[in-house]
Amino acid sequence: MIKFIKNFRKDEDGAVTVDWVVLTAAVVALAAIAYNQVRTGASDLAGDVQSALTSATVTTPTFGN
């Protein structure tokens, strides 16, 4: 039993797994933040384009008159 406890204390496989889980969570969080920023910027740009097109006036040329 004591040998099992000593081996369990020396085993670091779980620590590596925890490191990978923390790094993966950080990458996912950063991706979510970046996605939100891009989505907000694209939405604002689409609104600006809509405003510009709504206020635009189109004229057609008349030929030969």
- C-alpha 45/C-alpha 36 separation (Å) is 14
Residue 12 domain flag:
yes
**Structural domain containing residue 2:** 1-34
- The pLDDT tens digits of the residues spanning 5-62 come to 877 777 766 777 888 999 999 999 999 999 999 999 999 999 999 999 999 888 888 8
Query: How many domains does the structure of the chain reveal?
Result: 1
- The DSSP letter of residue 55 is S
Residue 61 domain flag:
no
Residue 50 domain flag:
no
Residue 3 domain flag:
yes
Residue 43 is predicted with a pLDDT of 95
- C-alpha 38/C-alpha 44 separation (Å) is 10
Residue 56 domain flag:
no
Residue 30 domain flag:
yes
Residue 40 domain flag:
no
Evaluate if residue 65 carries a pLDDT over 70: no
- C-alpha 44/C-alpha 47 separation (Å) is 5
Residue 60 domain flag:
no
- The DSSP letter of residue 12 is -
